[in-house]
């Protein structure tokens, strides 16, 4: 359990005890001693947290287990991302995400995704739009980034005023390969869609020298990386900090990370992509990507307004298109 979680649990317990005491005191018509001793300053409300990268059936996780993960990690709402072709090993249908949304409308923000090799893909996405979906993602199919079918869904998001979450992974068995060559073209051509960058190749470009043969480079970051430049030039690009790829990049060089976030404070998005059920990594070797990233960010970012942006407000703007 992280320090953060432990302290928020303690606070919750104290609040509950306090409420019980007030209830008993009201019955007895007396003022409880704890109330007299309470400081004038009201307790700070818990920070709102929007996880921009969550799936449901990671390791066969149910909808309820996914909500349990959100409760355990202090997550207010989440972008829940289907993966209909399952090319990365997890298959999640857009219908399941819509089902979760109907069960938990205050917690689930439904995205859609479907096989972009099928000729009716744009019609299907327009139908998901009518059914309440709010964006496309996770776009993770074995097609290069400059494939016309990838461009067609980006263009549709532009038309619908939607975000799209893209898994960038170069290499022969990768997804949307060719970020360095093609991403800028799309950012320039389609300025309404919010492109949310995720995964190994996106994060390898935190440094100016991303190696071609290593998806998880370590060691100090060489300033002047493509990510820094694109975030500076294109306000429609957002960085999804989820999963091992995000955490690995952000912990390579913490001083550089803080500088990068402070240069682009409106474009970083908290996300977990966590497959665990309980916020403690019970079924994931003791690691929870959500609590792990919260502990890092809370430790290194000292500006409370920036933390509020990264944890919630930026995701809301990426969703609504109010950049």
Beta carbons within 10 angstroms of residue 147's beta carbon:
17
Q: Which is nearer to Zn ion, 306 or 318 (CB)?
A: 318
What whole-number distance in Å separates Cα of residue 53 and Cα of residue 271?
5
288 lines the binding site for Zn ion (CB under 5 A)? yes
What whole-number distance in Å separates Cα of residue 307 and Cα of residue 309?
5
276 lines the binding site for Zn ion (CB under 5 A)? yes
- Please name the residue ranges forming H helices in the chain: 3-28, 33-37, 63-72, 94-103, 121-130, 148-160, 179-189, 200-204, 226-233, 243-250, 254-263, 289-300, 304-308, 314-320
Alpha carbon separation from 312 to 2, 92, 240, 305, 309 (Å, rounded): 20, 25, 12, 11, 5
Q: How many residues bind Zn ion (CB under 5 A)?
A: 6
Segment contacting Zn ion by CB under 5 A, of 16-24, 100-108, 111-119, 287-295: 287-295
Token digits for 37?
């001793």
What whole-number distance in Å separates Cα of residue 199 and Cα of residue 197?
7
Q: Which is nearer to Zn ion, 52 or 306 (CB)?
A: 52
Q: Which is nearer to Zn ion, 267 or 290 (CB)?
A: 290
Q: Which is nearer to Zn ion, 194 or 198 (CB)?
A: 198
CB of 197 to Zn ion, least distance (A): 13
Q: Which is nearer to Zn ion, 1 or 20 (CB)?
A: 1
Segment contacting Zn ion by CB under 5 A, of 93-101, 123-131, 182-190, 268-276: 268-276
* Residues of this chain, 90-149, that bind Zn ion according to CB under 5 A: 138
Of positions 273, 293, 306, 307, contacts Zn ion by CB under 5 A: 273
CB of 288 to Zn ion, least distance (A): 3
> Phi/psi at 93 (nearest 5 deg)?
-85, 145
Q: Which is nearer to Zn ion, 78 or 226 (CB)?
A: 78
CB of 233 to Zn ion, least distance (A): 26
CB contact at 8 A, 252 and 218: yes
318 lines the binding site for Zn ion (CB under 5 A)? no
CB contact at 8 A, 199 and 174: no
Q: What secondary structure letter does DSSP report for 313?
A: I
CB of 3 to Zn ion, least distance (A): 16
CB of 238 to Zn ion, least distance (A): 15
Which stretches of the chain bind Zn ion, using CB under 5 A? 138, 273-274, 276, 288, 290
């Amino acid at each position: 359990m992280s320090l953060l979680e432990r302290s928020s649990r303690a606070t919750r317990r104290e609040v509950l005890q306090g409420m019980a005491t007030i209830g008993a005191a009201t019955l007895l018509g007396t003022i409880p001693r704890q109330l007299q001793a309470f400081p004038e300053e009201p307790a700070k409300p818990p920070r709102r947290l929007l996880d921009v990268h969550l799936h449901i059936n990671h390791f066969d996780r149910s909808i309820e287990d996914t909500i349990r993960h959100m409760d355990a990690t202090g997550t207010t709402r989440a972008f829940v991302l289907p993966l209909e072709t399952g090319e990365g090993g997890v298959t999640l249908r857009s219908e399941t995400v819509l089902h979760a949304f109907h069960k938990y409308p205050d917690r689930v923000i439904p995205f859609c995704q479907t096989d972009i090799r099928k000729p009716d893909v744009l019609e299907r996405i327009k139908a998901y739009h009518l059914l309440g979906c709010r964006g496309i993602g996770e776009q993770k199919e074995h097609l290069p980034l400059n494939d016309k079918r990838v461009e067609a869904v980006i263009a549709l998001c532009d038309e619908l005023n939607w975000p799209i979450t893209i898994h960038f992974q170069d290499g022969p068995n990768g997804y949307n390969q060719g970020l360095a060559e093609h991403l800028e073209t799309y950012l320039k051509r389609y300025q309404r869609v919010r492109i949310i960058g995720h995964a190994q190749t996106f994060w390898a470009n935190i440094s100016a020298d991303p190696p071609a043969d290593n998806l998880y480079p370590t060691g100090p970051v060489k300033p002047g990386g493509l990510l820094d430049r694109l975030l500076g030039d294109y306000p429609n690009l957002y960085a999804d900090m989820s999963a091992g790829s995000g955490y690995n990049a952000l912990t390579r060089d913490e001083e550089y990370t803080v500088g990068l976030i402070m240069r682009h404070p409106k474009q970083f998005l908290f996300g977990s992509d966590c497959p665990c059920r309980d916020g403690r990594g019970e079924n994931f070797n003791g690691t929870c990507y959500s609590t792990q990233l919260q502990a890092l960010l809370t430790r290194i970012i000292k500006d409370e307004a920036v933390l509020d942006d990264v944890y919630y407000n930026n995701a809301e703007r990426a969703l609504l298109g109010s950049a």
